[in-house]
Structure 1
Amino acid sequence: MNIHEFLIPPAESARRKGPHDRIVMSSRVRLARNIRDAAFPGWAKKPERVRILDQIRPAVETLPEMRGAFSESMDNLSTLDKQILVERHLISREHAAKSAGSGLVLNRDESLCFMINEEDHLRMQALRPGLQLKQAWMAIDQADSVLEKRLEYAFSQDVGYLTACPTNLGTGIRVSAMLHLPGLVLAEQINPIIQSVNKLGLAVRGLYGEGTEALGNVFQVSNQMTLGEAESAIVERLDKVLSQIIEHEENARGTLLEKKPKMVYNHIGRAYGILANAHSISSKETMNLLSLMRLGMDLGLFPGSDRSLTDELFILTQPAHLQRQYSEKLSAEERDLLRADMVREHLKAVSRPISKPSGSEGGKLDKPEKQ
């Protein structure tokens, strides 16, 4: 099966809705599991990895939720295929580097994804649009409970599930959300927020996780401890922290519009001007400018336009997705030219931003609707 025929089209993916999705772009809960009495993938020889793959993959494929899933060995996917999956946040950069003895099983609506022989034998994750940590946890917990009856996990009565990295020891859970926080960045409040979150034992990372920068004002917030705390308690704690961050972001946006409206309009107007008229633009600059346009959509500065347009361009303008549209190998300079052409074409129907949000009074932001 061709992965590109299987994946949800970017335009459709960008239209998916969820609670608080103007700020929380997606929620994810990941579990790390290993097979008892087998070497971790990083230490295992190729025949051992292949044996583990052949053991885990059928067990995952027969889950009711995985009916009609995409299932493939990583060595049968091209480098471009893998990079597209990374850009969609469906697999990790580490898994993209894997080949024989590693595999992927992805369900139809891209809400459940199983990476086999990444850092651990099995890393399963549930994804949801918006703030839906509890729903994601329930989905992956259900799948895990079924798999635990079919696979013999490496488990210790003293410390819990055994994992390749000590930071995942215990529950093996990683709960995270991807947040769009341009208000806090523009208000220069993002660093205090990050410091406060870190003090609570949570990690704040960039767009693609650990070791990456926050392109497009997008940040990932996740738990760091997995030992000594129940999974439901970790989910609940992160959910509460995210609700506070959402409130801070909404307040930052409202305060900026009230006290520095011209600064906000200037940033958003310049972003639109460059994106709608540039003839060469890098991936990084595109992401940062699309972030400001997305903020403008949320603030009502682009009447008649929907946030899904910027979310679609977030996906389409990334290097591998851009490369996929053209059969020949593209240099970075050629990608920058084609990216600019694509963005200009998509923004043809978008009028320049108005200088006052629709439905606002004196530059004040409408109170956000409850979700």
Structure 2
Amino acid sequence: LRVISMEKGGNMKDVFTRFCTGLKELEAVIKEKGEAFMWNEHLGYILTCPSNLGTGLRAGVHVKLPNMSKHPKFEEVLKKLRLQKRGTGGVDTAAVDGIFDISNADRLGFSEVQLVQIVVDGVKLLVDMEKKLEKGASINNLMPGKLKTLSCIEPALIDVSCSLYVRTRTGLSASFTYFFFKFIIFNKCYWSPDNAQNMNE
């Protein structure tokens, strides 16, 4: 089972709100049938793939980074921001025309709100870097100093008021938004007495 909320544009708040609403309604229907998603106090949600244990949430943004993606410290920046990249075609696909799917690298150890905040903050910084590189300027003053930790993230606030955009390749002053937000809960498992017993063991 995968629950997906996505749209073109820069309104991450609406996408996340719709995602939460849909997931809540789905969970209510499942509970009416006497079932529930598998959940463990230590591990969080139990999913079919161990890499998705915890929240099971991937918040992805399709963003154009033709200059930043060629920078020698691109991978280092992503790691420090706790982000990962892939092509827009999915896992193990290459980026086309500098367009990447940037998403949270973590599933476990953070709340859903914190993971979304990581993506919002990280993509904003990547776009700021892209704009500087486009002008031929240095991005040294924007480089993140260390790996983001839990204490660095405000869990109660999602700042989606920032204007996220990259300029067109033609260099015109007009800019466009190329964001494609996607929230996914991966393959959640249903609870059953047998599964619960195996999990406790």
Question: What TM-score comes out, normalization by structure 2 length?
Answer: 0.63
Pair 1:143 & 2:26 matched: no
**Deviation string for 1:310-330 (max 9, x for gaps)?**
x9xxxxxxxxxxxxxxxxxxx
Contact residue 68 and residue 126 of structure 2 kept, 8 A: no
Contact residue 87 and residue 96 of structure 2 kept, 8 A: yes
1:295 paired residue number: 169
* Counterpart amino acid of residue 21 in structure 2: Q
* Counterpart amino acid of residue 184 in structure 1: M
**Deviation string for 1:188-246 (max 9, x for gaps)?**
42x41232112333211123132111111111111121112110011011111111011
Q: State the SS of the aligned residue for 2:63.
A: strand
* Counterpart amino acid of residue 15 in structure 2: A
Pair 1:244 & 2:131 matched: no
Distance 1:242 1:132 in 2: 13
Task: Within 5 Å, give how 1:13-24 maps onto structure 2.
Answer: none
2:43 paired residue number: 159
Task: Within 5 Å, give how 1:1-371 maps onto structure 2.
Answer: 122-151=1-30, 152-185=36-69, 188-189=70-71, 191-255=72-136, 295-296=169-170, 299-300=171-172
Contact residue 201 and residue 224 of structure 1 kept, 8 A: yes
Contact residue 167 and residue 224 of structure 1 kept, 8 A: no
Q: State the SS of the aligned residue for 2:97.
A: helix
Structure 2: 5+ residue stretches without partners: 31-35, 138-167, 179-201
Compare relative contact order (CA 8 Å, sep 6+) and give the higher one, 1 or 2: 2
- Displacement, 1:307? 7.0
1:106 paired residue number: none
* Counterpart amino acid of residue 140 in structure 1: F
- Displacement, 1:136? 1.6
- Displacement, 1:125? 1.2
**Deviation string for 1:32-63 (max 9, x for gaps)?**
xxxxxxxxxxxxxxxxxxxxxxxxxxxxxxxx
Gap change, CA 1:239 and 1:142, over 3 Å in 2: same
Contact residue 223 and residue 238 of structure 1 kept, 8 A: yes
Q: State the SS of the aligned residue for 2:135.
A: helix
Contact residue 176 and residue 222 of structure 1 kept, 8 A: yes
* Counterpart amino acid of residue 183 in structure 1: N
Distance 2:41 2:135 in 1: 50
Structure whose CA Rg is larger: 1
**Deviation string for 1:249-293 (max 9, x for gaps)?**
11111227xxxxxxxxxxxxxxxxxxxxxxxxxxxxxxxxxxxxx
More helix by share: 1
Gap change, CA 1:175 and 1:307, over 3 Å in 2: closer
Q: State the SS of the aligned residue for 2:169.
A: helix
More strand by share: 2
Question: What TM-score comes out, normalization by structure 1 length?
Answer: 0.35
Structure 1: 5+ residue stretches without partners: 1-121, 257-293, 312-371
* Counterpart amino acid of residue 172 in structure 1: G
